[in-house]
Amino acid sequence: MKTITIRRPDDWHLHLRDGAVMEGVIGDTSRHFARAIIMPNLVPPVVTTADAQAYRQRIMEVLPEGHRFQPLMTLYLTEHTQADDVEEGKRSGLITAVKLYPAGATTNSHGGVRDLDKVMPVLERMAAIGLPLCVHGEVTTPEVDIFDREAVFIETVLDPLRRRLPELKVTMEHVTTKEGIDYIKSAPANLAGSITTHHLIINRNAILVGGIRPHYYCLPVAKREHHRLALRAAATSGDPRFFLGTDSAPHVDPSKECGCGCAGIYTSPNTMSCLAHVFEQENALDRLEAFVSLNGPAWYGLAPNEETMTLVKHDEQAHFPAKRETGAGDITIFDPMFPLHWAVAD
């Protein structure tokens, strides 16, 4: 029996939703993760510090008894966001980052930013007070192929923004391409990237070969195999600029299994088992802790967790339910398409 003990991990990109879905899924994160950056794309989105305060309250109310979990709140950047409100949120300790969604990029992003010029005063204030910007790095112009949207975003939006405001700390979230990895590695400072569990495991074939498989559809969409290999190399390298952000994104099954299914993969329940598998395959189990527990807090200026987590590799398969039942309906749990033998010890 093989075991590994690491500091308790954090998730630097998480969707908890709200209401009955949140109540059904939160335990899957708080069981394993000490902290998570909570995405603000609710309906309506979490735009002001007061919205974030109220959302945090709702999260804490449904946290399962005995779980120790700290939600790290974010604000949804709009063209009407007030720099003073953002600064107030950071000073009060409530706000960890501000999230940029290009309008129309993913679930509930229609209120996102169309014209970066309009948000420059907020970004300048964030740079001045050291508050990171988390970006969904895809352009949404219809002429750009969906598989190229991240690379084009880097070239036409992110790089010009970083030249204009080099003091701004930017987290490129859920990097899915070799171009994204290379861009982060080439940056002199103030740029890091989160990588999801599922993008280390699937390429675009998972979505399309043998029939359309909506539970492997997410945004940014999974890319070609050579991109997946670049992500795996970066995640398992120990490079402090890369850390886990699961982007675990629950949608109830009817909203994925339909004529126009939602984007999002629900990975919270088995993420740690999947990651131990991936890191062992890459001969990098000794670097798992850096990816899930050390690099993220260092980037966000927080201390790593003092508590530990032990993962055990069993001879028999570790079993996870196929679906998480919630008061709003069932949510399919990510199937990595290989047997999992690593499990978090109780």
Residues annotated as catalytic are 247
- The interface region with Zn ion, picked from 61-69, 182-190, 230-238, 246-254 by CB under 5 A, is 246-254
CB environment 68-88: b (16+ within 10 A), e (fewer): ebbbbbbbbbbeebebebbbe
Q: With contacts defined by CB under 5 A, how many residues of the chain interact with Zn ion?
A: 1
Residue nearest to Zn ion (CB): 247
Of 132 and 304, which has the nearer Cβ to Zn ion?
132
CB of 51 to Zn ion, least distance (A): 18
CB of 333 to Zn ion, least distance (A): 17
Please state, in angstroms and rounded to a whole number, the distance separating the CA atoms of residues 304 and 9. 9
- The interface region with Zn ion, picked from 18-26, 91-99, 150-158, 239-247 by CB under 5 A, is 239-247
CB of 283 to Zn ion, least distance (A): 30
Q: What are phi and psi of 143, to 5 degrees?
A: -70, -20
SS3 170: strand
Cβ neighbours of residue 263 closer than 8 Å, sequence gap 6 or more: 106, 107, 217, 218, 219, 221, 249
Of 150 and 247, which has the nearer Cβ to Zn ion?
247
What tokens were used for 320? 């996870």
Of 128 and 146, which has the nearer Cβ to Zn ion?
146
- The interface region with Zn ion, picked from 153-161, 210-218, 245-253, 332-340 by CB under 5 A, is 245-253
CA geometry: angle 231, 204, 29, nearest 5 deg: 60
Question: Rule CB under 5 A: is residue 247 a binding residue for Zn ion?
Answer: yes
CB of 8 to Zn ion, least distance (A): 22
Q: What are phi and psi of 229, to 5 degrees?
A: -65, -35
Of 96 and 304, which has the nearer Cβ to Zn ion?
96
Q: Fill in the DSSP letter of residue 113.
A: B
For binding to Zn ion (CB under 5 A), which residues are involved? 247
